[in-house]
Amino acid sequence: MSGPKAFRIVTREELIARSEMLLRQLDTAISNWKQICERNGAVDDEAATAVIARRQSLQRMLDGSRFTELQKQVTAEISFLRSDAESRVERAIAAATRAMESRRRNARTAQMLLDALLQSGRAISEELRLELQSSHVSEKAIERAFALLAPAEEAATATKRQRELASRLGQGEQRITLGAWLSKQPGLKASEADLRIDRYLAELSALGIDPSPFGARQTAIASQPSSRQVLLTNSLLLDLGQAVRDGRKRSTQLAQLKERAVELAAWHSAGVDGLRSRIEQAIDEGNTSSAPALIAEADALVEEELRAQAADARRRAVLQALASLGYEVTEGMATAWVQSGHVLLRKAANPDYGVELAGGTKSDWLQVRAVAFGNVPQQRDASRDRDVEVAWCSEFEGLRSLVARTGGGIEIDHALPFGAVPIKIITDPKREEQAGEAQKLKTMTR
C-alpha cells in the first residue's frame, strides 16, 4: 500500500513525557502514604525502605526506555500504596476502637466498685477514690478496689485451731475473682451504639479530624435520664456518620488536588501557573469546595499540554526522518505545518515529486501522500507517477524504521493501494514562472 495513508506516530519524547507524569503521580502517592502512616502511628521503616527501592527500580525502567513495563508497574504500585494505606488505617481504627472500649469498660467497672465499696461501708482512701472516678482509670486501681471489697483474710492473731476449722468449713468453695464478680453485675456489657460511636471517633482521628467535640457529647449522654439517652445517642450517631463521610470525601479531594499540583509543576505558562497557585491555596486552606472544578480544569490542562508536546514531537520526528530520506526540510517548516495544517516536502533527488503531510493539530492522526509538482492541465506520465508511488512505499518503511530506532513507533489506520486515487498535482510557482519566461523568450525570438 503506497497510496495516501493515515497514521499515528508515537515518539520517544511522548513516551518519556507520559512516563515522567506517571512517576510524578507515584511520588504524590508515596507522600500521601507516608503522611497517612505517620498520622495513624503506623510508620514501618522496612516497608518505607521497600517503597523507595521500588521507586528507584521504576526510574531505572524509564532510563532503560522500558515504557510499557513502566506504565504497568507504576499503576500497580499506586494501587498497592492506596490499598496498603487503607489496610493500615483500618488496623489503626480497630486498635483505637478496642482501646476506647477498654477505657469505657474500666471506667464503668471502677464506678461499680466504688459504689459497692461505699455501700459496704469499707474505708477507701481519697487517692483511690479519685483514681476510680477518672476516665482513664488504671487496671491497678481496679485491682486495689476489688481487694478492699473482697472478704478480709483471717486475722493474723487467729489460732491454729481456728484456721483449721475455717479451712474445713470452706472446703470445696472458691474465692470469687474480679472477672466472676463483674459477670454478675448488670449493665456492664457495651451496647452496639457505644461500639459504633467508638469506631466513628477512631475513624475521625485517622482522617486527621479532632473527635473531641463528639467524644464530649458521648460522655454527656451518660449523665442524662435513660428516657433521653436513646434519642441523644441516635442523634450523635447520625452526626458522626455524616462527619465521617464528609471527612473521607475531603481527604480524597485533598489528595487529588495534591496530585494535580505536582502534575502541573512540569509546565510553566500563565494559565498553568495561575491554576497551580489556586490549587495550592485550596490545599493550604483545606478548602475543598472548589475541588471538583479545579480537578477537572487541571486534568483538561494537563492533557492539553501533553497533546501539544506530543504533537510537536511527532512533527519534528517525521520531518527529521524525511530529511534523512532525502527530502528538503527547511527551518520553520514545523511552524508552517501548525499554521496551515499541512506542509509540502520536495524530494531533492527528484524535484518533480515530493510528499504532503497534513493533520496532527486537532487529532493524533497524520496524513501523508505522494505529490507531483507541476501544472495541472499538462498531460501526466502515469507510469512515472506509479513508479514514484512505489518508491514512496519503500521510503515510508524507511520512515517507520527511523522512528522505531529512536524508541517510537508508527501505527497505520488505513492506506490506499497503488493508483487507487490519481497522484495529487501541486502547482509549482517556480516552474510556472520559469515556463512563462521561456514562453516570452520564444515569442521574442519569432
Alpha-carbon gap, residue 305 to 311, rounded angstroms: 10
> Minimal CA–CA distance to 215: which of 235, 191, 198?
198
How far, in Å, CA of 428 to CA of 441, rounded? 20
At 161 the pLDDT is 55
How does DSSP assign 41-76, residue by residue?
A: T---HHHHHHHHHHHHHHHHHHHTT-HHHHHHHHHH
Domain that holds residue 359: 325-445
Using N-to-C axis directions, what is the helix angle for 291-324 and 382-405, rounded to 10°?
120
Task: Quote the pLDDT of residue 42.
Answer: 86
Q: 209 lies in a domain?
A: no
Cell 524535484 appears where? 351
Domain count, the chain: 1
Element (H, E) at 298: helix 291-324
Q: What is the CA radius of gyration of the chain?
A: 40
Residue 301 lies in a domain: no
Residue 3 lies in a domain: no
What 8-state DSSP symbol labels residue 152? P
Per the structure block, which three cell numbers stand in for 412? Answer: 497505520
Three-state DSSP at 343 gives strand
Contact 4, 396 (CB under 8 A): no
Residue 289 in domain? no
pLDDT in tens, the chain (446 residues): 456 778 888 888 889 999 999 999 999 999 999 999 999 888 889 999 999 999 999 999 999 989 999 999 999 999 999 999 999 999 999 999 988 888 888 888 887 788 888 887 777 888 887 887 777 787 788 888 778 776 544 434 445 555 555 455 444 445 566 666 655 555 545 578 888 999 999 999 999 999 999 999 988 988 888 888 889 999 999 999 999 999 999 999 999 999 999 999 888 888 899 999 999 999 999 899 999 999 999 999 998 888 888 888 888 888 888 898 898 998 888 888 888 888 898 988 888 888 888 887 767 788 888 888 877 656 777 778 788 888 888 888 888 888 888 788 887 877 777 667 778 888 876 655 554 454 544 454 55
- The answer to whether residue 134 sits within a structural domain is no
In a domain, 93, yes or no: no
From the number of C-beta atoms within 10 Å of its C-beta (0-12, 13-18, 19+), residue 416 rates as middle
pTM of the model: 0.72
Pairing of strands 350-359, 365-374: antiparallel
pLDDT at 157: 41
Asked if the structure places residue 39 within a domain, the reply is no
- Strand, coil or helix: 430: helix
Domain presence at residue 344: yes
Alpha-carbon distance of 141 to 129, in angstroms, equals 9
Q: Report whether 254 contacts 239 (CB < 8 A).
A: no
